[in-house]
Amino acid sequence: MNRNTHSKPDSLPSGHCLCGGVSYEVHGPIRQVWNCHCWRCRRWTGHYMAGTGCKRSDLRLASDATLAWHHPADDPNVAYGFCRECGGSVFWKVIDGPPDQTDHIAICAGTLDLPTGLHTERALFVDDAADYHTLDPAVTAWSRE
């Protein structure tokens, strides 16, 4: 099976890290893509985070043998899920807070198998975007102001 595509168009959204050590399926609605340009997402992904998301209860880990979580010392209320084997960024979540935040998990859109059927809906923290990056004017932008 080609690991970059779904076996059929109506299959569940699924994905994995570069080496496949972390793989998942989403058994529920999946959000459109939001691009986060905050300094932390830029450092974590190497550019910006193009993320989708779902309810945590809808995420099923098919393989998590290499899944690890980074909890930043300056913001222990969030966690970044990555593969400790290949280093691939996979998830982001809020640890403690209101249910509208803690009930959901962000998924790095680049880890999804194709076709996704998703589109980029908004750009967040655009004032923090890297100076080499040209923002798409067709995408709704949100700044910290």
Residue 34 tokens read as 């939001």
CATH architecture entry for 26-58+66-142 = Alpha-Beta Complex (3.90)
Identify the band that residue 100 occupies on the pLDDT scale cut at 50, 70 and 90.
confident
Q: Is the pLDDT of residue 9 over 80?
A: no
What are the domain boundaries of the chain? 26-58+66-142
Distance CA 54, CA 34 (A): 13
Least confidently predicted of 33-37, 55-59, 141-145: 141-145
pLDDT at 111: 98
> What pTM value is reported for the model?
0.89
Mean pLDDT, all residues of the chain:
92
Q: Is the pLDDT of residue 145 over 70?
A: no
**Which residue would you say has higher pLDDT here, 3 or 144?**
144
Strands 120-124 and 59-64: unpaired
10-14's contacts with Cβ under 8 Å and 24+ in sequence apart are 13/54, 13/112, 13/113, 13/116, 14/62, 14/112, 14/113
